[in-house]
Structure 1
Amino acid sequence: METALLISNSLLWCAVLALVAMVIALARQVGVLFERVAPMGALVTDSGPKVGEPAPAMVLRTMDQESLLLPGVSGVSTLVFFLSPSCPVCKKLLPVLKSLRHQESGWLRMVLASDGNVVEHQAFRRDYGLTDFSYVLSEPLGMSYRVSRLPYAVLIGPDGKVSAKGLINSREQLDSLLTAQELGVASIQEFMVPSAHEHHGHAHTHGHHH
């Protein structure tokens, strides 16, 4: 009887120790996951500069070693497009960026932004025909806008304030950023809230030109 108790006791202790080891392993995994997921929370809480607030003043250097000021020259809007060579959606939107830059050159300055390995970005610029874009590698720039998912765009208005910002997965979403500024609203969603009839009426008069 005593032997049976000792054996069951030993087995219980083995089970407890195994569980403790598993909990420690899981705690480590949770810690790793939290570190990966934590920055995404910034998009939900919107802890970066809010729409309507002044854009952070920054002096940056492009990959061509030219000085770049943000928010930039008064009277000209700036679209800062955050991208990465390893982001498939970013690559899909590159022709759209080229088209928009050509069409809106009268009022819009476009800046491509990222961080990481310079050699990798040089190859990316060359392979995708981006050498005539202002291209900035700056970790502080991404951190100042709490960018954690790509592609992400920030539109700085001619007054130096953040006009619109958000994740960009399509041409329509990119256009909506520009349209929001044209209409003087914080976001295209805000414009669409009043009523479907009102939205339909405005769409023909204020829509962004392609």
Structure 2
Amino acid sequence: MDFITVSNSALWIIVILQSIVIYALTRQVGVLFERVAPAGALAINQTIEVGAVAPNLALQSLASTLVDVGGKSKNNKSQLLFFVSPDCPVCKTLLPALKSAAKAEQSWIDLILASDGKQQDHAGFVKQYELSEYPYIVSELLGKSYGVAKLPYGVVIDEMGKIASMGIINSREHLDSLFEAKERNVASIQAYMQKDQHNEEKFVEVK
């Protein structure tokens, strides 16, 4: 057996071993991704809970219109109550994604922006980030009624006036998780993932 034949055989063995290693790593990465998959918006709240009737308030917006928050919907649409602040950097970063989501989902949900702190320049904030097409409510009572402690925070109220989902929103994925949780009728995506994992464990094949 000459040198070239030996070299080719060795190269083929190396290629095969590399393929096996890459395949094994790919499987491990897939398993790891499932374990650390985005958990969705973190639903921390000590005042309200998913499934409960949402606090029903009639409040004046920055544009001096009366806005009904909560209660049975008059247009058969849900509400996304999104709490922001002019001095919240994360809120500002999320606004483009929030407006995009509001337009994409406008057939079934209405966006309502909420804030507090009368000393802040809310009008300037609305103008700078082009938020005038959405109701913008400045009310400390609203934040307290919905148990909002951290920003940005989102609450989805279904068409029957009940809390469908809620949580701290730090990304577009977190925002989408609120919609997904409502659609799947679960308290949060975390709860759905835990339920799904439990079901998978129940159906593990016994050998």
Q: TM-score, normalised by structure 1?
A: 0.70
Q: Once the 2 structures are TM-superposed, how far is the Cα of residue 194 of structure 1 from its aligned partner?
A: 3.2
1:159 aligns with 2:164: no
Greater helix proportion: 1
CA distance in 1 between counterparts of 2:193 and 2:117 reads: 38
* Corresponding residue SS for 2:121: helix
Q: Which residue of 1 aligns with 2:195?
A: 194
CA distance in 1 between counterparts of 2:102 and 2:147 reads: 25
Structure 2 letter corresponding to 1:88: P
Structure 1 letter corresponding to 2:77: V
Q: Which residue of 2 aligns with 1:177?
A: 178
Q: Once the 2 structures are TM-superposed, how far is the Cα of residue 117 of structure 1 from its aligned partner?
A: 2.7
Query: Structure 1, residues 43-76: CA drift from partner, whole Å, max 9, x if none?
Result: 85x3211110000110111111111112152521
Query: Structure 1, residues 12-56: CA drift from partner, whole Å, max 9, x if none?
Result: xxxxxxxxxxxxxxxxxxxxxxxxxxxxxxx85x32111100001
Q: Classify 1:138/1:183 alpha carbon distance in 2 versus 1 (closer, same or farther; 3 Å).
A: same
1:53 aligns with 2:52: yes
Q: Which runs of 5+ in 2 are unaligned?
A: 1-42, 201-207
Query: Number of matched residues?
Result: 156
Q: Which residue of 2 aligns with 1:112?
A: 113
Q: Which residue of 2 aligns with 1:69?
A: 68
CA distance in 1 between counterparts of 2:69 and 2:196 reads: 36
CA distance in 2 between counterparts of 1:195 and 1:49 reads: 25
Structure 1 letter corresponding to 2:51: G
Query: Structure 1, residues 81-122: CA drift from partner, whole Å, max 9, x if none?
Result: 000011110001100111011111111000000011366000
CA distance in 1 between counterparts of 2:198 and 2:101 reads: 29
Structure 1 letter corresponding to 2:70: P
Q: Once the 2 structures are TM-superposed, how far is the Cα of residue 191 of structure 1 from its aligned partner?
A: 1.0
1:1-210 matches, cutoff 5 A: 46-72=45-71, 73-74=73-74, 75-117=76-118, 120-195=121-196
CA distance in 1 between counterparts of 2:78 and 2:119 reads: 27
CA distance in 1 between counterparts of 2:83 and 2:108 reads: 20
Q: Classify 1:135/1:190 alpha carbon distance in 2 versus 1 (closer, same or farther; 3 Å).
A: same
Q: Classify 1:174/1:86 alpha carbon distance in 2 versus 1 (closer, same or farther; 3 Å).
A: same
CA distance in 2 between counterparts of 1:47 and 1:113 reads: 19
Structure 2 letter corresponding to 1:169: N
Q: TM-score, normalised by structure 2?
A: 0.71
CA distance in 2 between counterparts of 1:194 and 1:152 reads: 24
Q: Once the 2 structures are TM-superposed, how far is the Cα of residue 195 of structure 1 from its aligned partner?
A: 4.0
Q: Which runs of 5+ in 1 are unaligned?
A: 1-42, 200-210
Structure 1 letter corresponding to 2:60: R
